[in-house]
Amino acid sequence: MINRILGEKRVLVIDLPGTTRDSIYIPFECKGQKYTLIDTAGIRRKRSTHEKIEIFSIIKAREAVERSHVVVLVLDAHEGVTEQDATLLGMSADNGRALLIVINKWDGLDNYQKQEIKRKLDVKLSFVNYASVHYISALHGSGVGKLFTPITIAYTNAGTKFSTSVLNKILEKANQAHQPPPVKGRRLKIKYVNQTDVFPPTLTFHGNHLQNVPNSYDRYLKNFFINALKLTNTPIHIEYKSGDNPFKDNKNSLNARQIAKRRRLMKFSKKK
CB burial string 167-181: b at 16+ within 10 A, e below: beebbeebeeeeebe
- Work out the average pLDDT over 197-202: 95
What DSSP line would sit under 190-256, residue for residue? EEEEEEEETTTTEEEEEEES-TT--HHHHHHHHHHHHHHTT--S---EEEEEEPPPTTTT------H
pLDDT band at 193 (very low <50, low <70, confident <90, very high): very high
Residue 179 is given by DSSP the state P
Among 26-30, 111-115, 248-252, the least confident range: 248-252
What per-residue confidence (pLDDT) applies to 241? 93
Question: What SS3 class is residue 31?
Answer: coil
* pLDDT of 143 over the 90 cut: yes
**16-30 pLDDT per residue, tens:** 444 455 678 888 888
pLDDT given at position 105: 92
Confidence of residue 57 (pLDDT cuts 50, 70, 90): low
pLDDT recorded at residue 52: 59
Residue 78 predicted with pLDDT over 70: yes
Q: From CA 155, how far away is CA 203, in angstroms rounded?
A: 18
pLDDT at 48 over 70: no
Angle of helix 52-67 versus helix 83-94 axis, rounded to 10: 40
Whether 253 and 269 have beta carbons less than 8 Å apart is answered as no
Quickly state the pLDDT bin for 14 (edges 50, 70, 90).
very low
Mean pLDDT score, 207-227:
92
- pTM equals 0.78
Tens of pLDDT, residue by residue over 167-177, are: 999 999 999 99
3-state SS, residue 41? coil
- What distance in Å separates the CA atoms of residue 190 and residue 250, rounded to the nearest whole number? 25
Residue percentage of the chain with pLDDT more than 70: 84
Residues 208-235, mean pLDDT to the nearest whole number: 93
Taking alpha carbons only, the member of 174, 229, 167, 234 closest to residue 194 is 167
Q: How many Å apart are CA 215 and CA 238, to the nearest integer?
A: 11
Q: What is the mean pLDDT of residues 191-198?
A: 95
pLDDT of residue 165: 94
Q: How many angstroms separate the CA atoms of 155 and 148, rounded?
A: 10
Amino acid 191: pLDDT: 92
pLDDT of residue 82: 79
Q: Domains, the chain, ranges and CATH? A: 2-159 (3.40.50.300), 160-272 (3.30.300.20)
pLDDT band at 11 (very low <50, low <70, confident <90, very high): low
β-strand pairing of 98-104 with 70-76: parallel
Burial environment of residue 22 by CB neighbours within 10 A (0 to 12, 13 to 18, 19 or more)? middle
Proportion of the chain above pLDDT 90, given as a percent: 43
Band of residue 254 on the pLDDT scale cut at 50, 70, 90? confident
Q: Characterize the bridge pairing of strands 33-39 and 24-30.
A: antiparallel
Mean confidence (pLDDT) of the chain: 84
